[in-house]
Amino acid sequence: MTNIASAAAKGSTPYVYLCSIVAAISGLLFGFDIAVINGAIIFLRQQFRLTEFQTEVAASSLLLGCVMGASIAGWMSDRFGRRRILLLSAALFALSAIAAALPRNLAEFTAARFLGGIAIGMASMLAPLYIAEVSPARIRGRLVALNQMTIVSGILLAYLVNWLLSYLGPESWRWMFAFAALPSLAFFVALFFVPESPRWLTEAGRENEALAVLARVNGYSQAVVELEQIKEVIQEESGTLSELLQPGYRRALVIAVALAVLQQITGINTVLFYGSVIFKEMVGGHTESAAIGANVIIGAVNFLSTIIALWVIDKLGRRPLLMFSAAVMAVCQFALGAAFLIQPPPALLVLVCMLVCVAGFAVGMGPGVWVLMSEIFPTRIRGRAMSIATISLWVACVALTMTFLTLSQAITVTGAFWLYSSMCVVAFLIVWKATPETKGKSLEEIERLWRK
């Protein structure tokens, strides 16, 4: 530690990228585990003779784990460190992948996926946090965005793997889940080559180690300045739960939770989770491989649209993108519902509606809600408020995934998609009437908005 100045006088940008890429592998696993069920569910339904409700349980068990993982990740990482809990999530990712490939019944499969959900809940919260805490300010936004890119890359990878493996026959679903063990193990090993978060090291009283990490990242002179800034911010982050209920902050919390919930119940995960079921069983006339192959196109559109969103969100602002996104999704969900009034539903029309809906989500409601949630809270209450909003998002995701097939039977597929369309209208109105623009504003300026 005594030679920090000479060893890291200028810092190392490649080293920062290495740390960020390693952490972002969790985003790849996040996206893969979320999306792999889409192709596997067709074969699972056949092999285990699942009812509609059992299919919903199989699809949503991962998300129940996400709620738990997100609930415990914060305090566990504060106590044991970001890197150690990321290591735990990597181990759970690998264990879940292997266990999900070997179940003899639905109960064993559900338990395996629940473990994977815990890993996702932890990683979805800690990976962007770790990247933000280890990155210098000049490239922090770009590196945090890397995590979002790996998530959509993981979704696309899952669809490609599902499609290629679907030709192996009825047992192909086992290989679909097993594939995730490879990047999980790579993630676990790679974490041993990156440091602990300097922010956490400072909070733990290990300032020399924190200074060493900061110096390697940004040079010694800047590291000294950043260490003092970290200590100042830590002192400011003493907000209590009761502060969230103060009038101004309460409004921010309500908006964040509402947008988090609406991001899910506008229906996007019906496409990401049940796309193959929609094409194979609801539209009909497709083989398993053809139904799964349609999702590859959806994944590619999701990937490309996310790239566009990351490019324009700081140029156009949050509100315009969110309103545009909600409007596009409302129209597409309505058209999708109308398509199912035709028997048989025209497959091309269904696919086009789904593609435009996914594109609309990816340029606005997808990344935009996460960005807005990270900005609208004052520093002193941000951690607690983000936890509440994130848990609300996962609970809404569970509710959507657990009800789509049952809802489609109860009020028809058309009724289900028209319900989601109405939720898109609600999201549009909340952004239009109640959500402030945060583009280009400092955290202090945003805080003053809530005090007016």
DSSP per position, 363-388: IIIHHHHHHHHHHSS-HHHHHHHHHH
Residue type, 92: L
Q: On the CB side of 400, how many CA atoms lie within 13 Å of its CA?
A: 26
- Give me the phi and psi of 136, to 5 degrees please: -70, 150
Reply yes or no on whether the pLDDT at 297 is more than 80.
yes
Count of domains for the chain: 2
pLDDT given for residue 75 in this prediction = 83
Number of helices and strands (H, E) in the chain? 19, 0
Cβ proximity of 177 and 100 under 8 Å? yes
| Average pLDDT for the chain | 86
pLDDT given for residue 5 in this prediction = 45
State how far the Cα of 354 lies from the Cα of 183, in Å rounded to an integer: 29
pLDDT given for residue 6 in this prediction = 45
Residue 263, domain member (yes or no): yes
**Contacts (Cβ under 8 Å, ≥6 apart) of 420:** 265, 266, 267, 270, 333
Cβ proximity of 358 and 332 under 8 Å? no
Lowest mean pLDDT among 65-79, 130-144, 272-286, 352-366: 130-144
**Contacts (Cβ under 8 Å, ≥6 apart) of 124:** 26, 30, 66, 69, 70, 390
Tell whether 164 and 274 lie within a shared domain.
no
Lowest mean pLDDT among 41-45, 62-66, 366-370, 421-425: 366-370
Domain of residue 183 covers 10-194
Tell whether 426 and 309 lie within a shared domain.
yes
Name the domain boundary from 133, 166, 194.
194
Tell whether 256 and 152 lie within a shared domain.
no
Show the DSSP H helices in 237-287 as ranges: 247-265, 268-277
CATH code, 447:
1.20.1250.20
Which position has the token pair 């995590």? 147
- Which tokens belong to 83? 């890197």
Tell whether 163 and 250 lie within a shared domain.
no
Residue 241, domain member (yes or no): no
Nearest to 78 by CA among 239, 243, 234, 260: 234
Tell whether 43 and 180 lie within a shared domain.
yes
Residue 448, domain member (yes or no): yes
> How many CB atoms are located within 10 Å of the residue 324 CB?
18
Residue 214, domain member (yes or no): no
For a pLDDT cut of 90, what percent of the chain falls above it?
A: 48
Reply yes or no on whether the pLDDT at 444 is more than 70.
no
Q: pLDDT tens digit string along 172-190?
A: 999 999 999 999 999 999 9
What 3-state DSSP class applies to 440? coil
Residue 385, domain member (yes or no): yes
State how far the Cα of 39 lies from the Cα of 54, in Å rounded to an integer: 16
pLDDT band at 7; cut points 50, 70, 90: very low
Residue 226, domain member (yes or no): no
State how far the Cα of 284 lies from the Cα of 345, in Å rounded to an integer: 8
Cβ proximity of 28 and 151 under 8 Å? yes
Show the DSSP H helices in 278-365 as ranges: 288-316, 318-339, 347-360
Lowest mean pLDDT among 29-43, 110-124, 337-351, 366-380: 366-380
Tell whether 34 and 181 lie within a shared domain.
yes
Tell whether 70 and 154 lie within a shared domain.
yes
Residue 44, domain member (yes or no): yes
State how far the Cα of 288 lies from the Cα of 277, in Å rounded to an integer: 9
pLDDT band at 74; cut points 50, 70, 90: confident
